[in-house]
Structure 1
Amino acid sequence: MDAAPILDPDTYVTAVPHALLAGLREEGAVRWVDESDGPGFWAVLRHAEVRHVLRTPEVYSSRLGATQIRDPAPEALAYVRRMMLNQDPPDHSRLRGLLTRAFTPRALARLADRIDGWARDLVARAVERGEFDFAKDVAADLPLLTLAEVFGVPAEDRWLMFDWSNRVIGFQDPEYAVSDTEGAGSTDLARQALRLRPEPGADGRMPDPRTREGMPDLYAYANGLGEIKRLHPGEDVMSTLMSHVDDEGGRVSIEEFENLFWLFSVAGNETLRNGIPGGMIALLSHVDSYRRLKAEPDLLPNAVEEMLRWWTPVMHFRRTATVDTELAGTPIAAGTKVVVWFSSANRDERVFADPDRFDLTRPAGEHLSFGHGPHFCLGAHLARVQMRAMFRAVLDLSCRLTLAGEPVRLRSNFQNGIKSLPVATTAW
């Protein structure tokens, strides 16, 4: 069975190729995939083997080649290795520990209360129009509001975070890769950063947004914001982080803050920006489940976990073998790319009965949408809080949402993304 389509971003404009993934998974846990612009890689397709790779960083490194399939240029690799996402223990453990301590119970409780209010306001305002785009008018705003609160980003600068995430998440999609989002009333810090915003080249494309050189406006803004948080801390989570000194006198540097800002602005946004519309599609295409959840709202926490499994917003991450090893009987040479495929593992028949079925009562806890091991998503709790708040607001409506047109999918082999989800209101 030809595995090439799972790498082709055009494949995903129609749908995630679950039937192909199931066939490949049946053939074996590990499958070689050729690249037109690279050496190729091993795709890890089954749940148990994905978990093994993710919890064994001494064998499968995030740092050696970073975490995207495409090999970074050598000069770019040196820089992206400084990001927490692309680190291995002990460097990763140190930074993650500092960040974890910044998310205090008080800060999380304050965020949860605000998130619930924002979700209700977004849904109520959209429903007043009768017909609206759930992806653009509702789902895109909630993670931005949350991340702006985490970082203490002024309200008038939030649109910049939308622009930055468009450019990074959609680098394979011409519509998103050249984002022309504009906002009014930005702060001086934002205006200074915008002077550095790159222009599309002769080919109409922006510089690679996964490098520092491709996002100079984001890094300039992050640098200034980090200095402000250190000198004039507020009540936000990042002010707490920048004020914290660990037992050995260590603290987060401005450079580390810049990289955390990039990571949260993109990774902290993308899972929710695509997971919320994906959850809504699950309900729209399973009306019986939608009705049952309306009648039994106590099922919502479990339903959110099933939405994350069934949709799987982030489809894969890369590791690089540090030594000659073997996985599921397959020899893997040191230096080889090993890519864990979450959208396959989350439908592995060995773990999930009838995996293509959306099941509100499926036992939660086995899906890998937040990863596994030392890199388990630091924002998983906040992501769940946001999804539960959004769907509580939807379920509390006196009307039901229905499709008002075909969803438009993101051209990406990395993000299971929705650019547009037109819906209308109808009576129950």
Structure 2
Amino acid sequence: MPDQSAPDQSVPDVFDPRIYAAGPPYDAYRALRDHHPVAWQEEYEVLGWPAGPGFWAVTRHADVVRVLKDSASYSSHLGATQIRDPDPADLPFIRRMMLNQDPSPRFAGETPSDHGRLRRLVSRAFTPGRIDRFTARARARARQLLVAARESGPVFDLVHAVTDDYALLNLADLLGVPESDRGLLLKWTERVIAYQDPDEPPVLGPDGRPVNPRSPAMLQEMFGYAQQLAAYKRDRPADDVMTSLATSELTDAELEMFFFLLTVAGNDTVRSAAPGGFLVLAEQLDAQRSLRAGEVDLDRAVDELLRRHPPVLSFRRTAVRDTVLAGQRIRAGDKVVVFHASANHDERVFDRPAALDLARSPNPHVSFGDGPHVCLGAHFARLQLRVLHEEAMAALPPLVTAGEPRRLVSNFINGIKSLPLTAA
């Protein structure tokens, strides 16, 4: 609980998932950065989810980076990485995932090499040859989807016509999931990512209340499939990541958790970032035309679009010990939540952060995190986004919005559910 006698009513609320249906609350973020850089947030009951103990919202870039890098003070292992506390009975299961481990051992059940060993195993699966072949397939897929969208009529929904399939099918190719099973990846991703959105049917427990979609019971179907696919790949090896994982020294439990992480994070990173980047460009037609004219380096442009529309809004850590952050006392056991979208707009780091500067350099955004848990798939996400923009500039005219985007109701994922576009 906070080190204060009563909640400060002047502190803006950045917890409520419903706020994010209108986009990240940048005005609230700025007020927090300027006046309450480490601010206590009440965690009240919302959308059928029970109340929690509250957390510290960290909104300045330097403090976000400090928390992400300092795993000795701010643990991923203690309470996992979501704002909402997991069921204590689920914690041992959740901690099997690399995302919810710390790089140094402090807790029972965690060995010194777990985190680094697992990251190295996954990194080995991304060989240069595999990356080249993946890039060629992603390019052909982008071209096919974009041309079909263009031919469907003067207005098309980028999310439904292009980016959902682009992200999902790229991931399926990378993993080596048979075409007949690819719909399963989308179902599992949406169950985990969209659990706060009232448009998505909740997964209910026996008591009729929503169940955490990351609980063991909710993931058994995915894990069973992962083991079946791994067995298939051992009998019939192919040039894909699942073959590499299935024939590595991963335990069955580690393989299941990697399949979960790659399926959900690998899909939704691009699925969220891609329409967000196109939305930013559609709202800034001069910048879009400058990019199309070759006046801006595309790699820098992709990073600026990621800064403006990070796929992940927030991540949670738990304080290991009493500490002080930006002058605020934090007690051992307190939840500490970093807000990536706020850090990416910090005036202390970025000149005119609200402006789109496709040539921005340096651009130390934290859209893929920082420290020991920096996103393993960042290179692949950037690659897919670059290819998609290259092919869009070749296949489509300059684009503007043809209606309001529909956003995911979530304080975790910066998702767009629908984005109607048309020629400028």
Q: Same fold (TM over 0.5)?
A: yes
The separation in 2 between residues aligned to 1:200 and 1:38, in whole angstroms, is 19
In the TM superposition, 1:73-84 aligns within 5 A as 73-84=87-98
Q: How does 1:252-291 map to 2 (within 5 A)?
A: 252-291=250-289
Q: Alpha-carbon deviation of 1:132?
A: 1.4
2:130 is matched with which residue: 99, 107, 132?
Answer: 107
CA deviation after TM superposition for structure 1 residue 331, in Å: 1.6
Deviation at 1:243, TM superposition (A): 2.1
Correspondence 1:141 to 2:153? no
| Mapping of residues 10-409 of structure 1, within 5 Å | 10-36=18-44, 37-89=51-103, 90-130=113-153, 131-178=155-202, 207-244=211-248, 251-296=249-294, 299-397=297-395, 399-409=397-407
Query: Hey, which bits of structure 1, 4+ residues long, moved more than 3 A?
Result: 1-4, 199-207
Aligned-partner residue type, residue 21 of structure 2: V
- Paired residues, number: 400
Unaligned runs of 5+ in 1: 179-198, 245-250
In 2, Cα distance between the equivalents of 1:363 and 1:57?
28
1:5 equivalent in alignment to 2:5: no
Residue 193 of structure 2 contacts residue 413 of structure 2 at CA under 8 Å; is this kept in 1?
Answer: yes
d(CA) in 2 for partners of 1:206 and 1:317?
21
Q: Are the aligned partners of 2:301 and 2:358 in contact in 1 as well (CA < 8 Å)? A: yes
Show CA shifts across 1:36-80 (max 9, x none): 211111111111111111111111110100000111001111110
Describe the shift of the 1:403–1:202 C-alpha distance in structure 2 as closer, same or farther (beyond 3 A): farther
Shift of 1:205: 7.2
- Alpha-carbon distance, 1:29 to partner: 2.6
2 CA distance for matches of 1:29 and 1:345? 10
Give a deviation string over 1:234-271, Cα, whole Å, max 9, x none.
Answer: 11022123323xxxxxx111211111111111111112
User: How many Å separate the matches in 1 of 2:38 and 2:201?
Assistant: 32
Which whole-Å deviations, capped at 9, do the CAs of 1:174-217 have from their partners, x for residues lacking one? Answer: 32345xxxxxxxxxxxxxxxxxxxx7568987642111212332
> What is the aligned counterpart of 1:418 among 413, 416, 419?
416
TM-score, normalised by the number of residues in structure 2: 0.90
Is the 8 Å Cα contact of residues 170 and 176 (structure 1) preserved in structure 2?
yes
Query: Which letter maps to 1:212?
Result: P
User: Does the C-alpha gap of structure 1 residues 239 and 169 become closer, same or farther in structure 2, counting only changes over 3 Å?
Assistant: same
Q: CA deviation at 1:398?
A: 5.1
SS at match of 1:399: coil
* 1:273-302 Cα distance to aligned partner (Å, 9 max, x none): 111110011011001001111101652111
Partners of 1:372 and 1:133 lie apart in 2 by: 33
Structure 2, unmatched stretches of 5+, are: 1-8, 45-50, 104-112
- The CA distance in 2 between the partners of 1:21 and 1:340, in whole Å, is 11
Q: Secondary structure at the match of 1:378?
A: coil
Change in 2 beyond 3 A, CA 1:402/1:362? same
Letter in 2 for 1:57: S
Mapped contact 1:318–1:338 kept (Cα < 8 A): yes
Does structure 1 retain, via aligned residues, the 8 Å contact 2:11–2:36? Answer: no
The match for 1:186 is none
Structure 1 residue 232 displacement after superposition: 3.0
Distance 1:202 1:91, change over 3 A: closer
TM-score normalised by the chain length of structure 1: 0.90
The alignment partner of 1:176 has SS state of: coil
SS of residue paired to 2:120:
helix
- Aligned residues of 2:408 and 2:417 also touching (Cα < 8 A): yes
User: For each residue in 1:20-48, what CA deviation from the matched residue of structure 2 results, as whole angstroms up to 9, or x when unmatched?
Assistant: 11011001431111212111111111111
Post-superposition offset of 1:8: 0.4
Question: Residues 176 and 334 (structure 1 numbering): CA distance in 2 closer, same or farther, change over 3 Å?
Answer: same
